[in-house]
Amino acid sequence: MENNPPTFRILLIDEDKSETQTIRTILKTLTDTPFSIDHVLKCSQALGLLREKRYELVLLEKHLSQRISARFSVPMIKAAIQLAPIAIMSKQEASFSHADPVEHGVDYVIDKANMADFLRSQLNYLLGTEDRPYASSRPINVGGAVTSI
């Protein structure tokens, strides 16, 4: 009987449709582990999927539009999410670099430039080759002032 690796399921909430391909390319480079990415443009769509499916990671763009920020979106997502970590991601990390993930109600704040390292760590944790995701026992700021614990 084969021992199939778990599927790494990601929910991506981002208005930029090209982000799915970027993440898919990173994952194909990093692993042979099966993965799936569900991409939605709005939090309301994400809430529907979170009721139906289980994810290993939820990625949320810091600004879904000029009017909707992660501060507004996170509480709704956290209420619907099960055990999956949630990460706010941004290309404009400078303004977010010293943000405390806990303050935002998430597990991680990620600079998109560091997405490959972050996804590698999450995969390794899922596969049991790392004891803790992203080398921290508590949420850290990825891409900014990283605090190792």
Name the maximum alpha-carbon separation found in the chain: 52
* Ranges of each domain in the chain: 8-142
Topology (CATH) of 8-142: Rossmann fold (3.40.50)
pLDDT band at 119 (very low <50, low <70, confident <90, very high): very high
25-62 pLDDT tens trace: 999 999 888 999 999 988 889 889 998 999 999 998 87
* 76, 45 contact by CB (below 8 A): no
pLDDT of residue 143: 41
Written as one string, the DSSP assignment of 88-141 is: EEES-GGGGTT--HHHHTSSEEEEGGGHHHHHHHHHHHHHTS-SSGGG-SS-EE
Q: How confident is the model at residue 125 (pLDDT cuts 50, 70, 90)?
A: confident
Quote the pTM value.
0.77
Q: Is the pLDDT of residue 139 over 70?
A: no
